[in-house]
Amino acid sequence: MRLQAVDVTLGYGDRVVVDGLDLGIEAGTVTTIIGPNGCGKSTLLRALGRLLKPSGGQVLLDGKRIDRLPTREVARVLGVLPQAPSAPEGLTVADLVARGRHPHQTWYRQWSSSDADAVAEALAMTGLSDLADRPLEELSGGQRQRAWISMALAQGTDLLLLDEPTTFLDLAHQVEVLELVRSLHSSAGRTIVMVLHDLNLAARYTDRLVAMRDGRVVAAGTPHEVLTEELLRKVFDLEAKVIPDPVAGTPLVVPVGVRH
């Protein structure tokens, strides 16, 4: 297991969102967490990325307690991209991506040739080399999201957590971002954990699905195992038909209506 949540309890102040949850992320897989709004999936992802400290239980990175490791050391292994991040005005794509090198820099050694190489590579992988000098606000939504992913790539970690990387994107740009995620996985065997809302895209681009409701894992497994008509009823209160995706053969959810 690369990353493991052991009996974690998560919340904000007195409000408990996730209570005693266990989850393991296997090395070299793409895992997507799905579930209705407010089920605690983003909260869980933040805890896995040590952005939120569990009030009970622990998160293990490669078997070690993540909160006991120096945060900078963690940042060289694990990259996190929060939901809808925002950058200061005027920041160029190259500057943003360069900030991904932060955990590799020290106060007295700010920039090295390995930083430059990593940034160039991250830009190339996300197809942004030609846009490197453009300010972020001039890019399209899809390009901007790719720039943020590029920053996370420049960080040089083989473990990536992406919180709703496709929010606010149209379908074509969603597919573009997920193709990129998939290629990151297949080219370098990165371990990736995402939160997604679109079940059909999740099924298409994911090795493992984790379905959550009310802070609990209801089902975990391959998309075929998890995305069943019964589970959609249980997790989303959704009446739906599940048919094979005519393109990829993965489960395709066709909603019938919401159960009351």
The site for other proteins (CB under 8 A) is made up of 12-13, 46, 49-51, 53, 70-76, 78-82, 85-92, 95-96, 99-100, 102-103, 105, 107, 110, 152, 155
**Nearest distance, CB of residue 115 and other proteins, angstroms:** 13
> Shortest gap between Cβ of 15 and other proteins (angstroms)?
11
Distance separating alpha carbons of residues 29 and 15, to the nearest angstrom:
32
Cα gap 72→59, rounded to integer Å: 17
Cα–Cα distance measured from residue 147 to residue 157, given in angstroms and rounded to the nearest whole number: 16
Using alpha carbons, list the distances in angstroms from residue 150 to 26, 29, 79, 80.
23, 20, 11, 12
Contacts of 177 (CB under 8 A, 6+ apart): 142, 145, 146, 149, 165, 166, 169
CA 206 to chain centre: 11
Measured from the CB atom, is 49 or 165 closer to other proteins? 49
Give the nearest distance from C-beta 49 to other proteins in angstroms. Answer: 6
- Beta-carbon contacts of 59 under 8 Å, excluding residues fewer than 6 positions away, are 3, 4, 5, 6, 8, 47, 48, 50, 65, 66, 67
Smallest gap from Cβ 156 to other proteins, in A, equals: 12
Give the Å distances, CA to CA, from 177 to 56, 126, 225.
Answer: 34, 9, 25
Nearer to other proteins, 75 or 203 (CB): 75
- Residue among 1, 80, 3 nearest 42 (CA): 80
* Smallest separation, CB 81 to other proteins (Å): 7
Cβ proximity to other proteins, 163 vs 176, nearer residue: 163
Choose among 50, 44, 59: nearest CA to 78.
50
Nearer to other proteins by Cβ, of 76 and 233: the residue is: 76
- We find the least distance from the C-beta atom of residue 229 to other proteins, in angstroms, to be 36
